[in-house]
Amino acid sequence: MRGFVLDMDGTLVLGDRDNRGLTPLPGALELLQTLHELSIPFCVFTNGTVKTPAQCADALQQLGLPVTADQALTPASTAVDVFGERGHRRVMVLGGKGITEPLEAAGIETVPPLRGTDCDAVMAGWYRQELTFESLEAACFAVFDGAEFYSASQSQFFATAEGKSLGTSRAISAVVRDITGCEVTVVGKPSPSALRTAGRRLGVPAGELAVVGDDPELEVPMAHAGGAFAVAVHTGIGHAESYTDLPPEVRPHLDLADVGELARLLRS
Tell me the pLDDT of the chain averaged across its residues. Answer: 95
Tell me, yes or no, whether 162 and 88 share the same domain.
yes
3-state class percentages of the chain: helix first, strand second, coil last, to nearest 5: 40, 20, 40
pLDDT at 19: 61
**Phi, psi of 243, rounded to the nearest 5 degrees:** -115, 0
How distant, in Å, are the alpha carbons of 155, 208, 259 from that of 40? 29, 12, 15
The per-residue pLDDT for range 211-245, each reduced to its tens digit, is: 999 999 999 999 999 999 999 999 999 888 999 88
For the segment 88-92, the average pLDDT, to the nearest whole number, is 98
Same domain, yes or no: 41 and 137: no
pLDDT of residue 248: 84
96: confidence class by pLDDT, cuts 50, 70, 90: very high
Mean pLDDT on 88-117? 98
Q: What confidence category does residue 266 fall into, taking pLDDT thresholds of 50, 70 and 90?
A: very high
Q: Are residues 261 and 204 in the same domain?
A: yes
The structural domain count of the chain equals 2
- Cα dist. 12→16, 29, 121 in Å? 14, 8, 32
For residues 158 and 207, membership in a common domain is answered with no
Given 167, 186, 205, the domain boundary residue is 186
Domain end, chosen from 163, 186, 209, is at: 186
Predicted confidence band of residue 34 (pLDDT cuts 50, 70, 90): very high
Instruction: Looking at the structure, tell me whether residues 47 and 110 fall in a common domain.
Output: no
Tell me what pLDDT residue 155 has. 85
pLDDT score at 165:
79
- Asked if residue 102 and residue 171 are part of one domain, the reply reads yes
Shared domain check, 215 and 121: no
Q: How many CB atoms lie within 10 A of CB 200?
A: 12
Say yes or no: 169 and 228 in one domain: no
CATH of the domain at 50: 3.40.50.1000
Per-residue pLDDT averaged across 187-204, rounded?
97
Based on the domain organization, do 67 and 143 belong to the same domain? no
pLDDT category at 172 given cuts 50, 70, 90 is: very high
pLDDT at 91: 98
Whether the pLDDT of residue 21 is over 90: the answer is no
- pLDDT band (50, 70, 90) for residue 179: very high
| Beta carbons of 205 and 199 less than 8 angstroms apart | yes
Dihedral of CA 52/56/61/65: which sign? negative
> Which pLDDT belongs to residue 144?
98
* 91 shares its domain with 167: yes
Q: Report, as an integer, the average pLDDT of 103-109.
A: 98
pLDDT tops 90 at residue 247: no
Predicted model pTM: 0.94
- Note down the domain range covering 25: 3-74+189-267
- Domain-ending residue, one of 127, 158, 186: 186
